[in-house]
Structure 1
Amino acid sequence: MSEEIAALVRRLATGDRADRRAARDGLVALGAPIVPHLLPLLREAGTPGCSAAESCLERLGPAAILPLRAVRREGPGQLRAAALRMLATLGGGDALSAADRAAVERLVRIKLLDEEPGDLPADSWIAVPGAEVSEIVRALELHHALPVTTAMGLSAAVHHENSLTRGADDASRATVHRVFITPEFEGWRLLYGADYLRDHWASAVERLSAHCGEAHFYAVDDGNGAQVWWVSEHGRDRRGHRTYGDPEWVGEPMEFERRLMPGEDDEPGDPDEVAEYADGVRDPEEVASWISVQPTAVEVLDRVGHGWLAVTSDDVGPGGFAGALDI
């Protein structure tokens, strides 16, 4: 290591923010040769200089791929794990060598044998009853479906880059999304995709219900206090609620709502409770507990099969998205 690079790497771990920034800029200017010298700082998250070293590599971008692959291929051994993580962070699965991709696939198959998924996020999701994965894939026109652990599927569809905007031959722009289909929990499969559901939930539940008979959408946005739940059957809206919708309620109350609404013979209750159920139930997780399954309770439910990760375009595979996924 040249004295110049050594001095700059040491400065990445200093307490002065301006000095770290100057060292980072100096290292990035030196280009690909700095890559092997940054990896020792990445062996353990939270160590001094770790985030600054990651920032250097991210700014190098594609220029760091070949040096990282060289470390994976030639060592030293103690840096191979950090090199693999940064390859995935910078370029996703497509940045890995064929040997590394095969190793990841083997690890996934091993993990699937005794996976314990745990509870699922309850920000936004779709629930589909009694559907085969092939039906869901066909309904949403998904591609490249791969078996994945639940941790991997959620990393890909929720926690990391899960949409890409690409140019087409006709100069138009198209967005490709990743979608995670969970294992089956007591007859229900849940679908996740942070960007996909934000942009396409209404058409997705319509298409899924047309193909599979029924589909539900649930969402909670704590930032603006919005709650949404929607039930579609055979391609038509049956019942829905949107906090800021116009109208707020769509369709006739479902049976579970009627059972919860104050009846004529009920004793007068708390005014807030009466108001909450006057039109129906507003809380998506409570609705899910009545008519499908709650994501935060699937850990105790019977599970069948494993999850699948797919994309919305045949031109981009799941490995075309950046981010080091959990397995």
Structure 2
Amino acid sequence: MIRSRLGDLIASGLFDRLDQRDRRLLERRAGIKSAGDEPFSLDPRGWWYAVPGAAYAGVFEALGLHDRFPVTLDEGADVEDLPFREDAVPTFVTPELDGWRLVFGNLPDLVGVDWDAWMAAAERLSARCGEAQMFYEDGAGGTDLWVVAREGRIRRRRAAYDDADDVGDPFPWEEHERTVTVAQACARLSVDPGGIGASTRMRGHGWLALSRPGIGHENLNALVGL
């Protein structure tokens, strides 16, 4: 996933021993590389969040993420392929894409697989970022789910094939669709990960962050559980 000497820096944990000046240089490096990169389609493995780009700093507190490390889109895109410790899973916060930042990677370990935990995470994100959207696609053919939360409350929730999970007033654009899938909803509401490309406006750099405080990025290449 991560190429060149940056990967060695992350895996060795050296970033956690850098002073503030060197940390700022790494942020500058990620910003410069990102400015020259062209956006490309992403595969968040069926589950992701979207938050307004300007308010993304609230993501780290809302999801309990720590030790953030500046990376480019390319360096963070395959976050789920990073080996990780069981108690320190990495999550990727993308650069700003058409005004939004996407959050994905190891979310079952970070958030959990319980319905109440899903909704609570969306509400916490929206409380800190103003708005948060959750998208979940069931690759086994089950119910696609999308959620819009604002200011700490679920404002709209729709399970594409289950009217029982229809919460909140439909958006005007929903009136023209019998069902609204995740792919349709994210394209309307924020950013479709699969539709990102050369015409997408990208700003800033992304972040890799961990689910456990104080551990740094050292030994992330160790076997899970060791």
Normalised by the length of structure 1, the TM-score is 0.53
Counterpart of 1:161 in 2: which secondary structure?
coil
- Give the Å deviation of 1:306: 0.8
* 1:74-89 correspondence to structure 2 within 5 Å: none
CA distance in 1 between counterparts of 2:63 and 2:57 reads: 10
Partner of 1:140: 63
The Cα offsets for residues 217-237 of structure 1, whole Å up to 9 and x where unpaired, read as: 112122243311111111111
Equivalent residue letter for 1:298: I
Summarize the Cα distance change of 1:161–1:206 in structure 2 as closer, same or farther, 3 Å threshold.
farther
The Cα offsets for residues 232-277 of structure 1, whole Å up to 9 and x where unpaired, read as: 111111111236868332222122212x14xxxxxxxxxxxxxxx1
Partner of 1:192: 104
Partner of 1:78: none
* 1:205-244 correspondence to structure 2 within 5 Å: 205-242=122-159
CA distance in 2 between counterparts of 1:148 and 1:97 reads: 12
Equivalent residue letter for 2:173: F
CA distance in 1 between counterparts of 2:105 and 2:71 reads: 15
TM-align CA RMSD: 3.2
Counterpart of 1:248 in 2: which secondary structure?
strand
Partners of 2:65 and 2:210 within 8 A in 1: yes
- Give the Å deviation of 1:144: 1.0
> Is residue 2:222 matched to residue 1:314?
no
Summarize the Cα distance change of 1:97–1:220 in structure 2 as closer, same or farther, 3 Å threshold.
closer
* 1:135-284 correspondence to structure 2 within 5 Å: 135-156=58-79, 158-161=80-83, 164-165=86-87, 176-194=88-106, 195=108, 196=110, 199=113, 200-242=117-159, 247-258=164-175, 260-261=176-177, 277=178, 280-281=179-180, 283-284=181-182
Partner of 1:75: none
Which of the two has higher C-alpha Rg?
1
Equivalent residue letter for 1:227: D
Equivalent residue letter for 1:316: I
CA distance in 2 between counterparts of 1:230 and 1:322 reads: 34
Counterpart of 2:121 in 1: which secondary structure?
helix
Partner of 1:93: 11
CA distance in 2 between counterparts of 1:318 and 1:240 reads: 36
Partner of 1:52: none
In structure 2, the gaps of 5 or more residues are 17-21
Q: Give the structure with the higher percent helix.
A: 1
Q: 2:194 aligns with which of 286, 289, 296?
A: 296
Q: How many residues align?
A: 200
Partners of 1:119 and 1:297 within 8 A in 2: yes
- Give the Å deviation of 1:96: 8.0
The Cα offsets for residues 115-149 of structure 1, whole Å up to 9 and x where unpaired, read as: 23411115221011243342222333321111112
- Give the Å deviation of 1:180: 0.7
- Give the Å deviation of 1:97: 11
The Cα offsets for residues 187-240 of structure 1, whole Å up to 9 and x where unpaired, read as: 111101233355454332111101111100112122243311111111111111
CA distance in 2 between counterparts of 1:235 and 1:95 reads: 35
In structure 1, the gaps of 5 or more residues are 1-80, 166-175, 262-276
Summarize the Cα distance change of 1:128–1:235 in structure 2 as closer, same or farther, 3 Å threshold.
same
Summarize the Cα distance change of 1:238–1:302 in structure 2 as closer, same or farther, 3 Å threshold.
same
Partners of 1:309 and 1:318 within 8 A in 2: no
Equivalent residue letter for 2:72: T
Summarize the Cα distance change of 1:201–1:320 in structure 2 as closer, same or farther, 3 Å threshold.
farther
CA distance in 2 between counterparts of 1:322 and 1:233 reads: 37
